[in-house]
Homo-oligomer: A and B are copies of this chain.
């Protein structure tokens, strides 16, 4: 079975770990009858201190490779912050982004490879040679796409990098607009469209629907390719609040209510075939989308694996139902 997962950072990485567990792909298992291709969000990427930092790709890589800081969700386990302190002592900006020493090494390798002319997809593959995440991890694009956020503060109305808004301001500055700088001109990375085309099902983990999944879908060609498949998503909203992070601030910026129902409607039945909501949101109905309720909190490995299994089972069930195996044709019949 070939599964494609569009993933942001922590939520995507944990869902993927659950999916691997559900498929019997242990931490050390890299081969299985099933293959998982992860299309990772690169809209959060930022150049810091001359180094290209890819937070979402790295969170997936570290988490599946056993190197993540589990308590924090992002960054490396057993991390130290000597380089960061030293850069601050030199007066270097920014000081608000928490790059640890182990993490710095990843960015140094990436920067060196990119300076030598390798595209991000090749760099990611090389980094994964070490981490062996047990999935094929592809950046959504090799082109430079950056999510910027239009805000207004005492310095006026201006677009700042997503990370500055998210990390420095904790998404507390109202976002007037979320801009995918470079997205319109981007091309999917090599292998992305092929992986989607060849997939049996596509799963959307409970990643941020705007700046993670939305960013991936905005790369020209990806949304259309995904829409041709049987797609099941997991709601990142439980009982009207994001499970973690500030997805509510992102949804508000694009005029979408912070609810499991509204997020499914935002994805829309053209894209989404099935939608898992938490038991707290039982009774949610979305026209054209099969909604099921399950416990969605990824509170431990077992709960996470059960959630991933439920998403996959729903996808397979919906795929079965497709008269021709072409899910697009069946959308109306299911509504």
A positions within 8 Å CB-CB of B: 49-51, 80, 82-83, 86-87, 89-92, 101-102, 104-106, 108-109, 111-112, 115, 127, 129-130
Asked if A49 meets B108 with Cβ closer than 8 Å, knowing A82-B80, A83-B101, A101-B86, the reply is yes
| The residue from B50, B51, B86, B127 contacting A105, defined by CB atoms under 8 A apart | B86
Please, which residues of chain B bring their CB within 8 A of the CB of A104? 83, 86, 104, 108
CB proximity of A115 to chain B, nearest CB, Å: 5
| CA gap between A111 and B108 in the complex, in Å | 11
- The answer to whether A86 and B115 touch (CB under 8 A), given A50-B108, A108-B49, A130-B91, is no
Known: A80-B80, A82-B82. A90 touches B112 (CB 8 A): no
Given contact pairs A90-B130, A130-B90, A111 touches B50 in the complex (Cβ within 8 A): yes
Q: Do B50 and A89 have beta carbons less than 8 Å apart?
A: no
Contact (Cβ within 8 A) A50 B112: yes
Residues of B contacting A101 in the complex (Cβ-Cβ under 8 angstroms): 80, 82-83, 86, 101
Taking A49-B112, A86-B101 as given, write out 11 further A-B residue pairs in contact, using a Cβ cutoff of 8 Å, ordered by the A residue number: A50-B111, A83-B101, A83-B108, A86-B102, A86-B106, A87-B108, A89-B105, A90-B109, A90-B130, A92-B112, A101-B101
CB-nearest residue of chain B to A100:
B82
